[in-house]
Amino acid sequence: MSGGRQTEEAAEGLLREAGALLEGHFQLASGRHSGVYVEKFRLLERPPQTDALCRMIADWARELSPQVVAGPTTGGIIVSYEVARHLGLRSIFAENAEAGGRAFQRGFTIAPGERVLVVDDVLTTGGSVRDVLDAVRAMGGEPLAVAVLIDRSGGKSNGSVGADFGVPFFSCLALDLPSHEPADCPLCEQGLPLTIT
């Protein structure tokens, strides 16, 4: 579920204000081309805009009564910290594990049955979020909900419509950003300069 029309309009305004929602001709990490790109680090370098978006997540999650907030490295650390600050909770993060997936290291703990809100900055495939959910379960915690600043999965984070992690889901802004194979890219046909992200 996204944050509703007013929340989404506010979130889009915050992204534009931070210079994070870019229009042009971009080559994505996947190799595909797109006319719109979200540069999350332009957002994360702007505390006022990041804080406002994290407050949206905290306001949504408050009624669920989480006990701890967890995110994946790298951008998820900032989101986890800010959401936890708004909720008055602990913030932890899961790092890449040697055996694959992610794990809580550095002495982070989750008590058996502790209710965990999992957050991230941008959802594309859902892989990082799924890894954090697995790490929460591995420590005996209870995944309570998932929330992200931006859902750019276009409903494809699980191969079907909508982000389905088996728990309530929230995004401040959902974007369905079309992308094209380079050979079929209308922006290439128009001769627009390509920016590699």
Q: How many residues make up the chain in this entry?
A: 197
Q: Rounded to an integer, what distance in angstroms lies between the CA atom of residue 82 and that of residue 69? A: 10
Pairing of strands 33-38, 21-27: antiparallel
Fold of 5-18+46-196: Rossmann fold (3.40.50)
Residue 54 Cα distances to 128, 147, 158, angstroms: 18, 10, 24
Round the average pLDDT of the chain to a whole number and report it: 90
Hey, CA dihedral for 75, 179, 164, 137, is it positive or negative? negative
pTM of the predicted protein model: 0.87
For 12-55, the pLDDT digits (tens) are 999 999 999 999 999 987 788 999 898 999 999 999 999 999 99
For 129-177, the pLDDT digits (tens) are 999 999 999 999 999 999 999 998 765 554 333 468 999 999 999 988 8
For 1-16, the pLDDT digits (tens) are 666 778 889 999 999 9
For 63-112, the pLDDT digits (tens) are 999 999 999 998 899 999 999 999 999 999 999 998 889 999 999 999 99
- Spell out the domain ranges in the chain: 5-18+46-196
